[in-house]
Amino acid sequence: MPNYDELMGYLKKLCLERADGTLFITTDQKHSVRFKLYDGHITSCNYRLKRDYDAIKLIKAVKSGTYKFFAGISEPTASNMSRHHDLYAALFGETTLSPNKINSTSVAGNNSMTVFQFLDSETVKKTIEAIAKELAYFIGPVARLICDEYINRTGQARTKDELIAMAESVATEIGDSVQEQQFIEAALGSIRAML
C-alpha cells in the first residue's frame, strides 16, 4: 500500500502532467479522499465530509492508502480555479508550480469564458435516474427519495458539474466510506455514459 509521500508524489505528477479528472484515495483507515483536477490544477479536495482547507489538515495525517485516477471528469469554475494556488501551497508547502504555474487570468480573470455547458432536461432526467439506480444498489429503494430531496433542496441540476455534486452529496447517505467511494465511481461512470 503506497505511503503518504508516494500518494502525494502521484498527485504532484498529475499536476505536472496537466491532468484533468478526479483522484480517489482510500486511506488505510478506509476513509475516502478526493482531489479534483483541471489542467493540472487542484480545484477542490475532500476528506470524507470535510472540504478544501479543512480537508487538507486531515489529509496530511494520512499514513498510507490506495488510489485510482479517473481522467476527464472535472470542469473548471471561476471560484475553484482561483483557489488552486492556495490549495496546492497548503498541501505541499510550496508557493510555485513550476513548470505548471497557474495563470491567474486563465479562468478567474476571463469573464468572457463560458465554464458551464447547460444540458437538456431529458439528459438531466435520465442521468438523475441513473444516479438513483446506482445509489439504490447501496441503500435500497429509498435512493430515489434521497435524490428527489436533494433536487428540492438545491434546485434542478443543469450542468455536468451539478450532477457530479449531486452524486457526491447523496453518497453520504450510504454511511460507509468504502461503499461511498464505490458509489461515486459508479455514478461518475453513469454520468460519463449519459453525456
In this prediction, residue 85 carries a pLDDT of 55
Q: What is the mean pLDDT of the chain?
A: 79
Compute φ and ψ for 78, nearest 5 degrees. Answer: -60, -40
Of 2 and 103, more confident: 2
In terms of pTM, does the model score above 0.75?
Answer: no
Decide if pLDDT at 9 tops 60.
Answer: yes
Helix axes 177-194, 160-170, angle to 10 degrees: 160
Decide if pLDDT at 76 tops 70.
Answer: no
Q: What is the pLDDT of residues 138-160, one digit of tens each?
A: 999 999 999 988 888 877 777 78
Domain extents in the chain:
4-92, 121-194
